[in-house]
Amino acid sequence: MRSPAPTDARIGIVGAGPGGLTCARILQRHGIAVTVYDRDPHPRARDQGGTLDLHADDGQHALREAGLIERFFELARPEGQEMRLLDPSGRLLDHHVPAADELFKPEIDRGRLRDLLLGSLEPGTVRWGHAVEEVAGPAEGPRRLRFADGTSAETDLVIGADGAFSRVRPAVSPAVPGYTGIGFLEAWFQDVDNAHPELAALVGQGGATAADGERALFAQRNGGDHIRVYVIQRLPADWITANGLSTADTAGLRAWLLDAFSGWSPAMLRMITGNDGPYVDRPLFALPVPHVWERSPSVTLLGDAAHLMPPLGVGANLAMLDACELALALAGSATVGDAVEAYEKIMLPRAAEAARMLEHGAEALLERHERGELATFAPPRR
């Protein structure tokens, strides 16, 4: 089968995250029809995660191509670029206070970014409640998306933007994510300026982190007077059940963590003891480095589906840059196959380089800092 022109092709994006929605938006700006399929039954079905810092040279670049950069700056929080490095006693080791005009990587809540992108799409673009189970059909296309409810859809190009445990990835690659040996436990704090003033003062308007070589805490202010704390440890992936605990056992987990962090100061331990509601278990996974596959003119990947890495501030930015470059390649190519080839020639080497740099980045989150040495961090998401 000859690869169709992008304007004539049936293009299906799997996953309504920042990458998938950015790709859809830019395609529509160039007059190319697209459908996004997402497993969630509706846009508010689940929490979208914490806050993202969108960089000027990738995430913001993609939003500029999407025609949304001005609205982004209206919603973003430049003050969120503040970062504090602490030691386990709570002593300040380093402190970055952003300049008044600093806009290289302002923060925006994932939910707000998603709403911005969703609101920019043509009505009916996203098909909610469509959980992809399999991508079938020959490599040259067309492909058939098989959904969990027994329905299906035929496409000329499937774009896998469905994250770490992508259902699209097996159509081009046998690779599966492996556990990095580092686990996160996420804790939420609401109405922090009133209910948790000590934590609010410790964290400031951005993020605060401390580590002792084996474990770490990272607290990050979100919009809406909300702070998320990530308890970071080097542990087996099943450490919770192996210790006879569950994520529903908040008191049991809190007692276990207080023992593990027993040498830390009371001020720092408030990040463990004062959370509102249960913890969320988030073990960190990564794809092999490099992750490459044999090119198919009918399937490609972007974001975590293509290059899952530790959460060090690049994931969403690379996903949105991937989305932008793929959409522009489709807008500027004679055939879908030509566009996929042009996109992957750029994306795969770039992703491999970033993945090599961050391959052991999860371990670096635990390093004890005796001097100021602020690191980039972005909260994980499933």
**Peptide linkage before 288 cis (omega within 30 of 0):** no
Helices (H) and strands (E) in the chain, counts: 13, 17
Based on its alpha-carbon atoms, the radius of gyration of the chain, rounded to whole angstroms, reads 21
Q: In this structure, how many other beta carbons lie within 10 angstroms of the beta carbon of residue 131?
A: 15
Cα–Cα distance, 83 to 81 (Å, whole number): 6
Say how far apart CA 357 and CA 30 lie, in whole Å: 34
Chain centroid to Cα 98, Å, comes to: 23
Residue 343: half-sphere exposure toward Cβ, Cα within 13 Å: 32
Could you say which DSSP state residue 53 is in?
E
How far apart are the C-alpha atoms of 312 and 180, rounded to whole Å? Answer: 14
User: How many whole angstroms from its chain centre is CA 287?
Assistant: 14
Tell me whether residue 2 is annotated as binding: no
According to DSSP H, which parts of 94-245 are helical?
110-120, 192-195, 197-203, 239-242
Per the annotation, does 304 bind a ligand?
A: yes
The answer to whether 53 is annotated as binding is yes
Q: State the DSSP H helix or E strand holding residue 228, giving kind and residue range, or none if neither.
A: strand 226-234
Parallel/antiparallel/unpaired status of strands 126-127 and 280-286: unpaired
Binding site, by residue number, is 46, 53, 110, 304
Binding site for NADPH, by residue number, is 46
Binding site for FAD, by residue number, is 53, 110, 304
